[in-house]
Amino acid sequence: MIGGDLKVARRGLMFILSSPSGAGKTTLAERLLTKDGDMVLSISATTRQRRPGEAHGKDYFFVSEEEFMRMRDNGEFMEWANVFGHYYGTPRSLVEDTLRQGKDVLFDIDWQGAQQLDEVAGEDVVKVFILPPSREELERRLRQRAQDPEDVVQKRMAKADAEMSHWAEYDYVIVNYDLNESEELLRSILFAERLKRRRQVGLAAIVKEMIGDG
Ligand SMILES: Nc1ncnc2c1ncn2[C@@H]1O[C@H](COP(=O)(O)OP(=O)(O)OP(=O)(O)O)[C@@H](O)[C@H]1O
Ligand SMILES: Nc1nc2c(ncn2[C@@H]2O[C@H](COP(=O)(O)O)[C@@H](O)[C@H]2O)c(=O)[nH]1
């Protein structure tokens, strides 16, 4: 709100987190969402197996490869990619409905998805890359999560360099040493991006009302 009774509507933004697997983006996304009523998580569809504790419709929509291809061919995904040998895709409907309400959408997706969203919605997109403090720490985090078998951990470590090689395509980069600090940094980015002039719909009309034609 600026000035007495004048309210500025906001255009929702698409806040993308990418990182090598295990760097901490899902944990940070959960923290952001618990304290931010203006942001909604984009729940992806995936053909990978459900991990212990994961729920259909909360963490992912777990679908068969046949169902994924049907959705893809039907144009239901805003972006999709093959990651670690499984398909992942962002259902279009939730994203579009949320943005229309002036809320933000949070994405936990890889570099391929980030590139695709940038192409279709550049102005609305804010991309943050999360780096681990070191390769050793990345591997420790993947093991400590204890949700994937050893061969999956190895496969993800082998792909970490390829994912990290895309860091410079992002607007912001955070080295995730400490969860509290990284959460605070992410929130600072979000708050500043929400205040960008182009996202404050009707601002020009409001200022004009206050100062006239100048
Ligand atoms: N700063 C941190 N310090 C210590 N542990 C962390 C930190 N950030 C995340 N972790 C831990 O690392 C593990 C991996 O985190 P998380 O699942 O969020 O990674 P991710 O990037 O989302 O991985 P994926 O791409 O596979 O989904 C979790 O056990 C999490 O608690
Ligand atoms: N391009 C997309 N990437 C996605 C999507 N949903 C998740 N992901 C990325 O996949 C890997 C592995 O995730 P995991 O849950 O199996 O550990 C990770 O980098 C996610 O960010 C999506 O819809 N599109």
Is 108 a pocket residue for ligand 2 (Cβ < 6 Å)? yes
Q: What amino acid is encoded at 193 in this protein? A: E
Is 148 a pocket residue for ligand 2 (Cβ < 6 Å)? no
Pairing of strands 104-108, 14-18: parallel
pLDDT for the residue 214: 63
| C-alpha Rg value of the chain to the nearest Å | 19
d(CA 204, CA 162): 44
d(CA 72, CA 196): 34
Q: Ligand 2 center to residue 50 CA distance, Å?
A: 13
Per DSSP, 56 falls in state B
d(CA 48, CA 181): 31
* CA nearest to 44, candidates 31, 57, 32: 57
Give the atom of ligand 1 at the shortest distance from the alpha carbon of 176: 1
Provide ipTM, 2 decimals: 0.98
Q: The whole model's pTM is what?
A: 0.94
Burial of 142 (0-12, 13-18, 19+ CB in 10 A): buried
Return the best residue to mutate from 136, 141, 147, 156 for the ligand 1 pocket (most ligand atoms within 8 A of CB).
141
Please write down the HEC assignment for all residues of 127-151.
EEEEECCCHHHHHHHHHHHCCCCHH
Length of the chain equals 214
Return the best residue to mutate from 77, 107, 109 for the ligand 2 pocket (most ligand atoms within 8 A of CB).
109
Token digits of residue 178: 């400490």
Q: Is the dihedral of CA 118, 122, 126, 129 positive or negative?
A: positive
User: What is the chain's pLDDT, residue by residue, as a tens digit (214 residues)?
Assistant: 444 555 677 779 999 999 999 999 999 999 999 988 899 999 999 999 998 899 999 999 999 999 999 999 999 999 999 999 999 999 999 999 999 888 999 999 999 999 999 999 988 999 999 999 999 999 999 999 877 788 889 999 999 999 999 999 999 999 999 999 999 999 999 999 999 988 888 888 888 888 987 6
Tokens 């020009």, residue located? 204
Q: Ligand 1 center to residue 200 CA distance, Å?
A: 34
Q: Ligand 1 center to residue 26 CA distance, Å?
A: 7
Residues lining ligand 1, Cβ inside 6 A? 19, 21-27, 141, 144-145, 176, 178-179
Residues 6+ apart with CB under 8 A from 160: 20, 21, 22, 135, 138
pLDDT for the residue 169: 97
Atom 13 in ligand 2: which residue has the minimum CA distance? Answer: 21
Known binding-site residues for ATP equal: 19-26
pLDDT for the residue 191: 94
CB 71 within 8 Å of CB 77: yes
pLDDT for the residue 1: 46
Q: Ligand 2 center to residue 5 CA distance, Å?
A: 43
